[in-house]
Structure 1
Amino acid sequence: MALISPELINILASNLFRILALGNIILLLGLIYTYKRNHNEFKSKYTSGLLFFATVFLLQNIIVFIAPSARGIVFYSYITLEFIALAILLKIST
C-alpha cells in the first residue's frame, strides 16, 4: 500500500515543473532584455542570433507553462536542465 497515490505524485510533479517553466520564462525575459540592449549598442549578427535564440525558448516555455501536455521523466529532466543552463547563461551574460 502506497502512502502517496500515483495521481497525487503526478499532480505534485506537474506543479513543480510548471514552477520551473515559470522560472525559465523569467530568466529568458532577463536574457532578452540583455540581448536587446546589446543589440541596440553593437548591431551584430551574433546579438541578433542570441535574441532569436532566447525568443524561441521563451515561446516554448510559455507553451509548456500554459498547456503542459507532455509527461514523463525525459520531459521533466529537460525542463530542469534547461532551467539550470539558462540561469548560468543569464549569469555570464550580464
Structure 2
Amino acid sequence: MVLRYLGMAVALANISIIIILLSIYWKNYRKWKSEYTLGLLIFGTFLLIQNLLSMGFLAPPPPMPSGGEHGNDYSLLLINISQLVALSALLKISWK
C-alpha cells in the first residue's frame, strides 16, 4: 500500500513538471511557430495523459473481502521514478 502512495506522489510530481514544460513549449510555439515545438507540445500532451492514467492505476483499490494483497506495485513506481528523472533533466534544459 505504501508503494501505491509513493507511486502516486511521483506521478503527481511528473504531472506538475509536464504542465510546466507544456507552458514553456506553448510560449515558445506562439513566439516562433516551429514544427519542432508543436511536436513537443503534442508529445507532452500524450505524456500528461499517460501520467494521469497512471494515477488512476495507482489509486488504492477498495479492501478485498479476504484481506489479501492486491499484488506488486513496483513496476509502475519504477516507471514513474524513471520518468521523474528524465522530466527533471528536460525541465532543467528547457527552463530559461
TM-score normalised per structure 1: 0.82
Find out whether 1:74 has 2:71 as its counterpart. no
Correspondence list, 1:26-37, <5 A: 26-37=16-27
* Superposition deviation, residue 78 in structure 1: 1.1
Q: Distance in 2 between matches of 1:18 and 1:29?
A: 16
AA aligned to 1:31 is L
Residue of 59, 63, 66 corresponding to 2:53: 63
- Give every structure 1 segment of 4 or more consecutive aligned residues whose post-TM-superposition deviation is greater than 6 Å: none
* Superposition deviation, residue 68 in structure 1: 2.4
List alignment gaps of at least 5 residues for structure 2.
60-70
Q: Distance in 1 between matches of 2:5 and 2:74?
A: 14
AA aligned to 2:80 is I
* Superposition deviation, residue 77 in structure 1: 1.3
* Superposition deviation, residue 71 in structure 1: 4.8
What's 1:4 paired with? none
What's 2:38 paired with? 48
Q: Distance in 1 between matches of 2:3 and 2:92?
A: 27
Aligned partners of 2:54 and 2:76 also within 8 Å: no
How many correspondences in the alignment? 84
* Superposition deviation, residue 42 in structure 1: 0.6
What is the percent sequence identity of the aligned residues? 32
Higher RCO (C-alpha under 8 Å, 6+ residues apart):
2
Q: Distance in 1 between matches of 2:7 and 2:74?
A: 11
Q: Which moved more, 1:57-66 or 1:67-76?
A: 67-76
Tell me which protein shows more helix as a share of its residues: 1
SS across alignment from 1:67: helix
